[in-house]
Structure 1
Amino acid sequence: MDSTKQTELWTFTTDKPKTSSDFAFCDVSYTVGKKNNVKRILQQMSGTFKSGQLTAIVGPSGAGKTTLMNILAGLKITGVEGRIEVDGVERNFKTFRKQSAYITQKDYLLKDLTVEEYMTSAAHLKLGNKVSDNEKKTRAELILKTLGLTNVATTQISRLSGGECKRLSIGLELFDNPSFLFLDEPTSGLDSLSSLQCVALLRIIASTGRTVVATVHQPSSRLLDHFDHLYVVVGGSCMYQGPVESLVPYLQTFNLNCPKYHNPADFVMDVASGEYGDLLPQLVSGVQNGRLIYRGSSASSHSTRSISLERNESHQMNDDEAEKKDRQKRITYGAPFRTQVKVLLERTWRTMWREKMLTQIRFVTHIVFAIFMGSAYHIVGNDANYPLSNAGLLCFNQLFVVFTSAMPTVVTFPIERNVLIREHLNHWYSLKAYYFAKLLVDIPFQILFPAIFLAIVYLMTDQPMCMMRFSMLLLTTICMALVGQGIGLIFGAAFDIQKAVFLAPVCAIPLLLFAGFFIHLNSVPFYLRWVSYVSFFRFGFEGAMLSVYDYDRPPLNCSQPYCYFRSPHKFLETFDMDQSSYYVCIIALMINFVVIRIAGYFVLRFKLNSVS
């Protein structure tokens, strides 16, 4: 990084963090499984990370680096034992959330936003209403300039390079000056130059008083030199903790001599893998599994070990329940609820408008299928010879609207869910604000697309030219679209894309069977009749039939001497709907809408909690 860029970066990062705090953990263990099938991932590890230092957590694959990082950052609390402290006091999760930021290995970003739009939304959410818009804009521009992103400010994130995405992920978390910055594999997927630039940026950020901790899989010697502090994890234990330059002297005290001009990080990986013998127990004992910080120097490499002690009191306790309770307490955010919803509405609207699956493809699909259905069922709407065909059309319409509302959400929401997890963890906004904005922003599309589809089908199939009937049918169709979108949210929140795409249609089949078209509801066995009362397809189809055939509709056209279904009322009797109520159908659909949306919220909340 050149001197000009360093000066600009220093100008920005001299904004002090909220507090300059040291971070320590003592006897941290982590287990997975239950009863007889328990696996211990971390083995009573301890360590100290000081403010103003850039710390690297290194180790071979499967050593427990990411697990340790997730625990320290507060992403994982279930199954954790031990004590985590900030400035010698047990960590208060509520306070810690406000002071920290966690940047995951993968850059989960909304790909359809531009860099400038993303930075603006982050500024509003993190800084709130106490900071003027001009100051937010100035701060966002300064961050973009210092991170070298000014020239791509108007570029959509989907077109950024890996290094640019990583710098943006870091920049988004700097608005509220976090005291603790945790990064999981920040150099993963980057070339050597981008990796050096990224770590140089982190070092300058740390030099302003922040505690910056990053996991690095296998750093080069040049990359390793940028770190102040090194923490080596092997087999769920700490093999070394101390200054980077003291690693080689420490290994020499065990007769492990790193070859000249050899990368110390590669050498320590070889030692960890057992190429120089089974010395892991001795190495772990040498720093007491992280309780001791080695402070030897290269000048005294053949002397006895020089170890200074920075002890945490050894408390063997389980903080799991206490931290869970602390986590459930009310957490205040940078922006009030109303501002959160406003910013998220604007951001989500931009994302949806640019997402082809959610707009363009859905729009074209509704037009194409409307014309196709109108052609296939031409003039059956008022012909007494084809009432069953018209009933099939009405049933298919509801089915089409439900699935075209649900499936785009099923496909896109699992990806967006990862963004939600990252931003919610980093204290951007509450889950309620996010979900409320998500609920509101799609309503215009759930009204517009079904209205266009129904208008084309209604006219082409010669349905009764009555505005009241069309309005009733449109209301039923819109209600079904809203229910369908809620179904998509539930499956998209609960499962990954592959499972959600399979399970959503499969779980809808039993409800569709009891819609009333495929089987008469009075002929359903009593022990299965309850399914019809929870089937939104039943109320959608029934509402559509009543819209078209009830309310004293005149006799249908009959081109033959006698048509059995010339009377609309007789046709409704065939489907056991002559005593049904349109308003009950609408109320039932609205109840389904509310229940499904509430269920979606709790599924999403459970998913967020289960990440821990």
Structure 2
Amino acid sequence: MSLELRCHCCSDIIQLELYLACRIGFVTQDDVLFTHLTVKETLTYAALLRLPRTMTREQKKERAMDIIYELGLERCQDTMIGGSFVRGVSGGERKRVCIGNEIIINPSLLFLDEPTSGLDSTTALRIVQLLHDIAETGKTVITTIHQPSSRLFHKFDKLILLGRGSLLYFGKTAEAMPYFSSIGCNPLIAMNPAEFLLDLANGNTNDVSVPSELDDKVHMENQNLQDTNSKINLRPSAQDVHEYLVDAYEHRVAYKEKKKLLAPLPISDDMKATITSSKREWGTNWCQQYSILFCRGLKERRHDYLSWMRITQVIATSIILGLLWWHSDPTTPKGLQDQAGLLFFIAVFWGFFPVFTAIFTFPQERAMLNKERAADMYKLSAYFLARTTSDLPLDLFLPVIFMVIVYFMAGLKASAMRFFLSMLTVFLSIIAAQGLGLAIGATLLDIKKATTLASVTVMTFMLAGGFFVKRVPPFISWLRYLSFNYHTYRLLLKVQYDPVPDILMTSVPLDNGVTEVGALVAMIIGYRVLAYLSLRRVKASNG
């Protein structure tokens, strides 16, 4: 299908882009999928976000199941996608899931970038046969492919051959070999047509007969080389072959093909109505986007957050702390200082842990975010809020286990009110530290750079936390107010000892704790606003 559209202003271009966005599917070379979601969950979430809001939730789920059966994925529908460190579906099944993510919206045009890359010949043939079946339903499928087998080559209806950025052939696949034969290029040995064409495109004529024009040119060049006693070259150069093929295409085929492509086709009334409507139609409203992304985030990250390795790490650390501070006695100066050291370690541990978990969030999901935002699946604000809040239930599970073990083993104040206030303080510290990690990750979007910056920042905050140095020089004393460790440590002291003993008193007296709580809340909000603005800046620069 071709459209003759004349755009007279920017609004016309925007209308055209909105129309094309919901009519075109694009499958990237790399399989951009969530590792821990199953095949069914992946396609269901895509259906919920991408299909029009005129469809009910159940209809969208039925559409996802139809795609699963259409692509032959019913046997692995409850298997995780998997990745480098997670066992999942096969490469061919993963590629079919990527195709399913795009054809779920029933696009008129489907682009694929090297869909057979990394697949064995049998699996590659299945993928190409699937694309052929999709094309037979009335869709236009365009794919790039390198080194296809002869069976794959004959599955394609039309062929575009490029060499050094220039068009060497465009037309029916079945007519490609006769065309090159007509211009004097034939394989000298039995070979895959695709290999023959790639050799020509790269100027390799070792197993290819060349036309008399090129032979004459080579003989003339060799005659000149003999006169200068230079080494004789018996084959035409790659540059000569390329120029000959480009010239032959321009004179024999290009004009007729361009005339066909430029012939306008009438636009139906439905298309005109869709194109002239400049309003962007999201598949769901903002609240539904948030809800879907929140549930998807919980399912995707629960495996990492609640892995046995992480649970074992937290439990082992809490038991070691409980044994080292076993029933510490705060009635003696040494015991009091020991407990203060424990409280500071808790503030540092639950400041360090969330930062280095959160900095990976946006760099790791950058490809997925770019892909889904390009497809207009959701608003950035809905994604950001869902992404940052879906971590909270998971982030707060392990600290509860940690505090239950450490609090009573170490002999801290056995009071329900003090215990819950201590937990609340730790929660505030975690959310603030997580915000810092999100801001660093979103600003840099590079794991190595983000890790380096986070290490320096966390170390600085720890040193300014009020335990190692109580009398900070005035010219740098402002630094402690930026440290969530400082505010968390002071709140934990306030909860455990009210009034706080002079031996533990820092240079700034403790009041009722409102200042510290306000500072942590400001960090929670401020860091997240910075992270969101950084993501918007990246999106704007990419767009």
Secondary structure of the residue aligned to 1:309 is helix
Which residue of 2 is the match for residue 224 of structure 1? 153
1:542 aligns with 2:490: yes
Picking from 555, 577, 584, the partner of 2:515 is: 584
After superposition, the Cα gap between the structure-2 partners of 1:239 and 1:531, relative to the gap in structure 1 and judged at 3 Å, is farther
SS of alignment partner, residue 130 of structure 1 = coil
Deviation at 1:391, TM superposition (A): 2.3
1:278-321 deviation per Cα after TM superposition (whole angstroms, max 9, x unaligned): 13234345556xxx9938xxxxxxxxx976635769xxxxxxxx
Match of 1:509 among 448, 459, 468: 459
- Preserved CA contact (<8 Å) 1:113 1:351: yes
Give 1:241's aligned amino acid.
Answer: F
- Asked whether the 8 Å contact 1:373–1:457 carries over to 2, the reply is yes
- 1:107 — aligned with what? 31
Relative contact order higher in (CA < 8 Å, ≥ 6 apart) = 1
Name the CA distance, whole Å, in 2 between partners of 1:267 and 1:537. 67
Counterparts of 1:307-318 in structure 2, within 5 Å, are 309-310=259-260
Q: Aligned letter for 1:218?
A: Q
How many angstroms does 1:585 deviate by? 0.8
DSSP 3-state at the match of 2:143:
strand
Q: Whose strand fraction is larger, Structure 1's or Structure 2's?
A: 1
Q: What is the match of residue 405 of structure 1?
A: 354
Q: Give the aligned partner of residue 323 of structure 2.
A: 375
Identify unmatched segments of 5+ residues in structure 1.
Answer: 1-19, 25-82, 296-304, 314-328, 553-567
Equivalent position of 1:449 in the other structure: 398
* Letter paired with 2:466: G
Shift of 1:497: 4.2
Q: Where does 1:299-338 land on structure 2 (aligned, <5 Å)?
A: 309-310=259-260, 331-338=280-287
Query: How far apart are 1:461 and its partner, in Å?
Result: 1.9
> Does the 8 Å CA contact 1:241/1:293 hold for their aligned counterparts?
no
Q: CA deviation at 1:157?
A: 1.8
* Structure 1 residue ranges (4+ consecutive) displaced by more than 6 angstroms after TM superposition: 88-91
Check the 8 A contact 1:107/1:166 in 2, yes or no.
yes
> CA deviation digits over 1:205-264, x for unaligned, max 9?
223333322111221222121122222333333333332233334434553323463223
Distance 1:337 1:360, change over 3 A: farther
Residue-by-residue CA offset, 1:334-376 (whole Å, 9 max, x unaligned): 11112212222222222223x1445543333222211111211
Alignment of 1:418-433 (within 5 A): 418-433=367-382
Instruction: Show the counterpart of 1:298.
Output: none
C-alpha contact 1:451 1:474 (8 A) present in aligned 2 = yes
Which consecutive residues of structure 2, in runs of 5 or more, have no partner in the other structure? 83-87, 206-236, 264-277
Q: Does 1:601 align with 2:532?
A: yes
Alpha-carbon distance between aligned partners in 2 of 1:148 and 1:89, rounded to the nearest angstrom: 38
Cα gap change, 1:152 to 1:604, in 2 (>3 Å): same
Q: Give the match for residue 294 of structure 1.
A: 253
Alignment match of 2:56 (pick from 118, 132, 138): 132
Report the CA distance shift for 1:407/1:507 in structure 2 as closer, same or farther (over 3 A): same
Instruction: Show CA shifts across 1:567-587 (max 9, x none).
Output: x341343x2132455111111
Match of residue 557 from structure 1:
none
Q: Which residue of 1 aligns with 2:477?
A: 529
Decide whether aligned partners of structure 1 residues 136 and 255 sit closer, same or farther in structure 2, where only a CA change above 3 A counts: same
CA offset at residue 167 of structure 1? Answer: 0.8
State the match for 2:503 in structure 1: 571
CA distances 1:460-502 after superposition (whole Å, capped 9, x unpaired): 2222233333333222210111122223334444434444444
- Aligned partner of 1:5 in structure 2 is none
* 1:222–1:423 Cα change, 3 Å: same
Aligned pairs, how many? Answer: 484
Q: Distance in 2 between matches of 1:412 and 1:293?
A: 54
Q: Measure, in 2, the Cα distance between the counterparts of 1:433 and 1:543.
A: 33
| 1:330–1:359 Cα change, 3 Å | farther
Distance 1:285 1:385, change over 3 A: farther
Paired residue for 2:435? 486
How many Å separate the matches in 2 of 1:93 and 1:22?
13
Q: For 1:240, which of 169, 176, 183 is the aligned residue?
A: 169
| Cα distance, 1:588 vs structure 2 | 0.8
Equivalent position amino acid for 1:373 in 2: L
**Does 2:143 correspond to 1:214?**
yes
2:209 aligned partner? none
Deviation at residue 425 of structure 1 after TM alignment? 2.1
Q: 1:537 to 1:128 in 2, by over 3 A?
A: farther
> Once the two structures are superposed, what CA deviation does each residue of 1:94-128 show, in whole Å capped at 9, x if it has no partner?
33222222211121212222222222222221225
Please give the secondary structure, in 2, of the residue aligned with 1:270. helix
Pairing 1:169–2:112 present: no
Residue equivalent to 2:342: 393
CA distance in 1, matches of 2:337, 2:249: 81
| Aligned ranges 1:451-470 → 2 under 5 Å | 451-470=400-419
CA offsets per residue over residues 182-203 of structure 1, 9 Å max, x none?
A: 1111011111121112112212
For the residue of structure 2 that corresponds to 1:92, the secondary structure is helix
Measure the CA separation in 1 of the matches of 2:533 and 2:309: 30
Amino acid at match of 2:91: G
Check if 1:263 corresponds to 2:192. yes
Q: Which of 170, 174, 182 is matched with 2:111 structurally?
A: 182
Distance 2:341 2:377 in 1: 48
* Aligned position for 2:202: 273
Structure 2 distance, partners of 1:104, 1:307, is 28
Q: Which amino acid aligns with 2:478?
A: W
Cα distance in 2 between the residues matched to 1:483 and 1:594 = 8
Look up the SS of the partner of 1:214 in the other structure.
strand
RMSD value over aligned CA atoms? 3.1
Letter in 2 for 1:101: G
**Residues 371, 456 of structure 1: 8 Å contact kept:** yes
Query: Contact 2:319 / 2:406 at 8 angstroms: preserved in 1?
Result: yes
- 8 A contact 2:355–2:433 mirrored in 1: yes
Look up the match of 1:98.
22
Summarize the Cα distance change of 1:211–1:23 in structure 2 as closer, same or farther, 3 Å threshold.
farther
Higher mean alpha-carbon deviation, 408-417 vs 331-340, is at 408-417
* Partner residue, 2:218: none
Structure 2 CA distance for aligned equivalents of residues 500 and 254 of structure 1: 57
1:8 aligns to what?
none
The answer as to whether partners of 1:230 and 1:240 remain within 8 angstroms in 2 is yes
TM-score normalised by the chain length of structure 1: 0.72
Moved more, 373-382 or 357-366: 357-366
Alpha carbons 1:547, 1:582 under 8 Å: kept: no
Tell me, yes or no, if the aligned pair for 2:68 and 2:74 is still in contact at 8 Å.
yes
Amino acid in the other structure paired with 2:33: L
Call closer, same or farther: CA 1:463–1:344 in 2, change over 3 Å.
same
How has the CA–CA distance of structure 1 residues 238 and 605 changed in structure 2, closer, same or farther, with 3 Å as cutoff?
farther
Distance 1:306 1:119, change over 3 A: closer
CA distance in 1, matches of 2:118, 2:542: 24
